[in-house]
Amino acid sequence: MVSIAIMGHGVVGSGVAEIITTHKNKLYTSIGEEVYIKRILDLREFPDSPLADRFTKNFEDIINDREIRIVVEVMGGINPAYDFVKRSLKAGKSVVTSNKELVAAKGAELLQIAKDNNANFLFEASVGGGIPIIRPMSQCLVANIVDEIAGILNGTTNFILTKMIDEGMDFDTALKLAQELGYAERNPEADVEGHDACRKICILASLAFGKHVYPEYVHTEGITKITLKDVKYAAAWGGVIKLIGKVKMLENGKMDIMVAPMLIPCKSQLANIDDVFNGIMVRGDCTGDVVFYGKGAGKLPTASAVVADVIDCCKHLKTRKYLFWTDGDSSNVIDYKDSVSSFYIRVKSDDKDAALQSAKELFGNISPIALDEYEGECAFVTEPLKYSDAENYVKALADKGYETLSMLRIGDL
Amino acid sequence: MVSIAIMGHGVVGSGVAEIITTHKNKLYTSIGEEVYIKRILDLREFPDSPLADRFTKNFEDIINDREIRIVVEVMGGINPAYDFVKRSLKAGKSVVTSNKELVAAKGAELLQIAKDNNANFLFEASVGGGIPIIRPMSQCLVANIVDEIAGILNGTTNFILTKMIDEGMDFDTALKLAQELGYAERNPEADVEGHDACRKICILASLAFGKHVYPEYVHTEGITKITLKDVKYAAAWGGVIKLIGKVKMLENGKMDIMVAPMLIPCKSQLANIDDVFNGIMVRGDCTGDVVFYGKGAGKLPTASAVVADVIDCCKHLKTRKYLFWTDGDSSNVIDYKDSVSSFYIRVKSDDKDAALQSAKELFGNISPIALDEYEGECAFVTEPLKYSDAENYVKALADKGYETLSMLRIGDL
């Protein structure tokens, strides 16, 4: 019997308890021992829970219990999760977490503490919910040199964009619907401003390239400025707008990493990932593109990924999994202004031909998007160029009277 | 240093040697030791290989070398691979293989021998080439009860069908092109008749449900009878024809397993998997649908999956991975005639309305497919029914003068 503790009894935490209870036989078969939930930490009371006798409000009941070998952290947020996880690892207990904020902010430090104490620190559920991604990347694709990772990493924004694309709903209406359906928080900032996706691409980048990438190094744009007009122009171009978290290893050994809405061609495997689903593309030198698709959030998908990590810890109580990266600093990441991509640019213009002619003089080769639905404006796609150059040309275009209404990157995916 | 032997120096085998050589540092980082290719078994001569001094034509040089801890089998076929693998495992050496024919035919026995000798028997590359699937299923999705697996498991047939769908090429022309491009063998039977896909769905079914499913239990249909007309009707219905390997666990504890071309709705994640790419959908009770996509074959993708298994063996030289299933028999599988699905049926008829009326009287509710391109025939889709019932109705329809020209299952994916 392996005794574990679960810290947090919210959506994911109650899901973990549920799966361990309902899938008892499946777990027994794969571990060869029973998993016993000895303690559940939560400040709230759950008198009607079948596990009511296991609840505690005091972390000391967990840290001081030598029988508890594995601690599941599903509280979310940095504090007090960070302190509790650190103390658990220092006590030699393995920790499993679904907390992307914690892993993105403190991953390198916690992995080092785990290593020093011969314990495991696993976080499959922190990216992609129920989609296997951390373990496939660290084990199955280990014989590859990963060049690039790009993904739709946030279900809420993908739901909103899908409603805009498929049903012509505007951003505010789609956000309201997402809130009504429970897909978006009342304060949706972490999702719609891209912070959630940013944490996830930080974790994937750290894992792939071995150095911790902190969220503050990563240029992050949300989807609040995306209009239905942009969606229509994207369709006329032959694509869709998706919020993409993306990291690419450049030849100079630095990472080009960002989160931003991008135009993706319809033929891309990421273009067909709709609603609350997530999809992650990993480009390896041997495998080529591999894509993982599934539910990126939700009680049972996320909880099942947590439980898979618990099982892995049970099988490796005495040995460490080789999941590790070292600390990193901002010198590993290029300035987003130096990042190169093609751009979709929509400008105000009463004379479309003149505007496109001016654009051509500045940007060089451009491809106008054939859509005549909207008066007083036009849109075009540039060749690949640096963001800083694009910014300068946009300014010059404005000086000529053609104000830019939107500018989005083209995702080469 | 961990010494290994590679049996077979064909496409995959030379790829394994190449990756171990070129990705030396990556491997060292993840194992903490060097992987040394001590022997390569092949009957041919490779005097120009940088590893020329390691070649042998004699298996005894491998089996008798106690330093060799891991044997990679990439010869293909049952004989002599089966004998060599069995002897290697009995000698306590771990074995990694990409040989789907061997795993599908002898998996249960070899897993048992591996277990008895405290060795590992790993075969990530046997299904989906470079796509991680065996390890994600056995580790990441282990907290799920898998209900169903369905996949596009053969790249050659998917290439042919994609050419038929996208370019209106007929089967024979598409097959010829596949052969010219090296995607199909000169004798393409194993691919186009579905045998290759059958072996792969057998491996996935055995892994998911814990009992070996032998290929001879699995009803297998190829794509040789698919016509361009069927492709057009599928499009008019709103879908595409794909060769699907599929297994579903029924409530009676038996498997509904088969390989057959099926009509898949365009919105399915499997519908957009084109050319030589593979895609595998795993439906878990907690995760819902998870899809894995990538290159299902090819030298480096397949070899990189083999090397990932080698790395895993290096990390588990003294402990066994919990990858296991027991032997099984045909009583675990239902007769394909009892399998229930909707059907697409295309019939000869000079009077379309009369034919559809007769079909309705036999099949019950049907949905005619609105396509008037072809004279003297029509097509419809049935409600879900048993294959044996569908067969009887087709016979009765022929008795009324409406001969069935094609009949395909609808994939509920």
CA angle A269, A275, A276 (to 5 degrees): 100
Taking an 8 Å cut-off on Cβ atoms, the answer to whether B301 and A291 are in contact is no
Taking an 8 Å cut-off on Cβ atoms, the answer to whether B19 and A286 are in contact is yes
Which run of H or of E encompasses B231?
A: helix B228-237
Q: Determine the distance in angstroms separating the CA of B359 from the nearest CA of chain A, rounded to an integer.
A: 36
Q: Determine the distance in angstroms separating the CA of B159 from the nearest CA of chain A, rounded to an integer.
A: 16
Is the per-residue pLDDT at A374 higher than 80? yes
- The nearest alpha carbon in chain A to B267 belongs to A272
Nearest to B287 among A143, A291, A304 (CB): A304
Between CA A91 and CA A65 the distance in angstroms is 10
Is the per-residue pLDDT at A322 higher than 80? no
3-state secondary structure A220-258: ECCCCCCCHHHHHHHHHHCEEEEEEEEEEECCCCCEEEE
- The nearest alpha carbon in chain A to B18 belongs to A286
Taking an 8 Å cut-off on Cβ atoms, the answer to whether B301 and A286 are in contact is yes
As a whole number, mean pLDDT of residues A119-137 equals 95
Taking an 8 Å cut-off on Cβ atoms, the answer to whether A287 and B308 are in contact is no
Residue identified by tokens 């940088």 is B50
For chain B, the residue count is 413
Give whole-number Cα distances, A8 to A56, A183, B23, in Å.
10, 20, 42
Between CA A87 and CA B374 the distance in angstroms is 73
pLDDT at A320: 76
Taking an 8 Å cut-off on Cβ atoms, the answer to whether B287 and A295 are in contact is yes
B151 contacts B280 by C-beta, under 8 angstroms: yes
Express each pLDDT in B322-371 by its tens digit: 789 999 999 999 999 999 999 999 999 999 999 999 999 999 999 999 99
- The nearest alpha carbon in chain A to B142 belongs to A308
Tell me which of B27, B124, B139 to substitute to probe the interface with A (most A C-beta atoms closer than 10 Å).
Answer: B139
Q: Just give the CATH number of B2-129+300-324.
A: 3.40.50.720
- The nearest alpha carbon in chain A to B312 belongs to A139
Q: Determine the distance in angstroms separating the CA of A304 from the nearest CA of chain B, rounded to an integer.
A: 5
For residue A319, the chain B residues in CB contact (below 8 A) are 319
Q: Which residues of A are catalytic?
A: 200
Taking an 8 Å cut-off on Cβ atoms, the answer to whether A287 and B272 are in contact is no
Domain B340-410 architecture: 2-Layer Sandwich (3.30)
Q: Determine the distance in angstroms separating the CA of A152 from the nearest CA of chain B, rounded to an integer.
A: 14
Nearest to A130 among B15, B26, B286 (CB): B286
Nearest to B304 among A143, A292, A303 (CB): A143
DSSP assignment string, A321-374: -----B---GGGB--GGG-EE-EEEEEE-SSHHHHHHHHHHHHSSEEE----SS
For residue A70, the chain B residues in CB contact (below 8 A) are none
Express each pLDDT in B5-41 by its tens digit: 999 999 999 999 999 999 999 999 889 999 999 999 9
User: What are residue B404's phi and psi, to 5 degrees?
Assistant: -80, 125
- The nearest alpha carbon in chain B to A323 belongs to B30
The pLDDT confidence band at residue A372, using thresholds 50, 70 and 90, is confident
Express each pLDDT in B249-289 by its tens digit: 999 999 999 999 999 999 899 999 999 999 999 999 999 99
- The nearest alpha carbon in chain B to A320 belongs to B315
Give whole-number Cα distances, A159 to A165, A177, A275, in Å.
10, 10, 4
Query: Beta strand B2-7 with B35-41: parallel, antiparallel or unpaired?
Result: parallel
Q: Determine the distance in angstroms separating the CA of A155 from the nearest CA of chain B, rounded to an integer.
A: 14
Catalytic residue among B100, B163, B200, B321: B200
pLDDT at B118: 94
The pLDDT confidence band at residue A196, using thresholds 50, 70 and 90, is very high
Is the per-residue pLDDT at B319 higher than 80? no
A55 contacts A82 by C-beta, under 8 angstroms: no
Query: Residue A284: beta bridge partners?
Result: A146, A288
For residue B210, the chain A residues in CB contact (below 8 A) are 29
As a whole number, mean pLDDT of residues B142-171 equals 96
The pLDDT confidence band at residue B316, using thresholds 50, 70 and 90, is confident
Question: Which residue ranges make up each domain of chain A?
Answer: 2-128+299-327, 134-295, 338-410
Task: Residue B246: count other Cβ atoms within 10 Å of its Cβ.
Answer: 27
Taking an 8 Å cut-off on Cβ atoms, the answer to whether B294 and A290 are in contact is yes
Per the prediction, chain A carries an average pLDDT of 96
Between CA B369 and CA B236 the distance in angstroms is 7
Q: Determine the distance in angstroms separating the CA of B320 from the nearest CA of chain A, rounded to an integer.
A: 10
Q: Any idea which of A293-297, B71-75, B132-136, B322-326 has the lowest mean pLDDT?
A: B322-326
Express each pLDDT in B194-245 by its tens digit: 999 999 999 999 999 999 999 999 999 999 999 999 999 999 999 999 999 9
Is the per-residue pLDDT at B320 higher than 90? no
pLDDT at A316: 86
Q: Determine the distance in angstroms separating the CA of A47 from the nearest CA of chain B, rounded to an integer.
A: 26
Taking an 8 Å cut-off on Cβ atoms, the answer to whether B142 and A272 are in contact is no
Token pair belonging to A59? 């972390």
3-state secondary structure A159-208: HHHHHHHHHCCCHHHHHHHHHHCCCCCCCCHHHHCCHHHHHHHHHHHHHH
Q: Determine the distance in angstroms separating the CA of B357 from the nearest CA of chain A, rounded to an integer.
A: 36
**pTM of the predicted structure, to 2 decimals:** 0.95
How would you classify residue A34: left for phi > 0, otherwise alpha for psi between -120 and 50, otherwise beta? beta
Taking an 8 Å cut-off on Cβ atoms, the answer to whether B294 and A295 are in contact is no
Q: Just give the CATH number of A338-410.
A: 3.30.70.3220
Query: Residue A293: beta bridge partners?
Result: A279, B291
For residue B276, the chain A residues in CB contact (below 8 A) are none
Query: Beta strand B94-97 with B121-122: parallel, antiparallel or unpaired?
Result: parallel
pLDDT at A321: 74
Express each pLDDT in A37-70 by its tens digit: 999 999 999 999 999 999 999 999 999 999 999 9
Tell me which of A139, A306, A310 to substitute to probe the interface with B (most B C-beta atoms closer than 10 Å).
Answer: A139
Express each pLDDT in A135-189 by its tens digit: 999 888 889 999 999 999 999 999 999 999 999 999 999 999 999 999 999 999 9
Token pair belonging to B171? 């089967």
For residue B290, the chain A residues in CB contact (below 8 A) are 130-132, 292-295
pLDDT at B30: 87
Which of A192, A153, A154, A190 minimizes the C-alpha distance to A176?
Answer: A192
Beginning with the edge strand found earlier in the chain, give each strand of the sheet holding B121-122 in spatial order.
B55-56, B35-41, B2-7, B68-73, B94-97, B121-122
B200 assigned to active site: yes
DSSP state of A297: S
Q: How many CB pairs under 8 A join A and B?
A: 166
Taking an 8 Å cut-off on Cβ atoms, the answer to whether A143 and B272 are in contact is no
The pLDDT confidence band at residue A413, using thresholds 50, 70 and 90, is confident
Token pair belonging to B368? 């005619």
Taking an 8 Å cut-off on Cβ atoms, the answer to whether B287 and A300 are in contact is yes
For chain A, the residue count is 413
Express each pLDDT in A285-308 by its tens digit: 999 999 999 998 899 999 999 999
Taking an 8 Å cut-off on Cβ atoms, the answer to whether A322 and B315 are in contact is yes
Token pair belonging to A230? 């942009």
CATH assignment of A2-128+299-327, among 3.40.720.10, 3.40.50.720, 3.40.50.1010, 3.50.50.60? 3.40.50.720
For residue B289, the chain A residues in CB contact (below 8 A) are 293-295
Domain B134-295 architecture: 2-Layer Sandwich (3.30)
Taking an 8 Å cut-off on Cβ atoms, the answer to whether B269 and A315 are in contact is no
Taking an 8 Å cut-off on Cβ atoms, the answer to whether B19 and A284 are in contact is no
For residue B283, the chain A residues in CB contact (below 8 A) are none
The pLDDT confidence band at residue A273, using thresholds 50, 70 and 90, is very high
- The nearest alpha carbon in chain A to B324 belongs to A30
Nearest to A143 among B19, B139, B319 (CB): B19
Amino acid (1-letter code) at residue B43: L
As a whole number, mean pLDDT of residues A249-270 equals 96
Token pair belonging to A224? 């609040």
User: What are residue A378's phi and psi, to 5 degrees?
Assistant: -155, 170
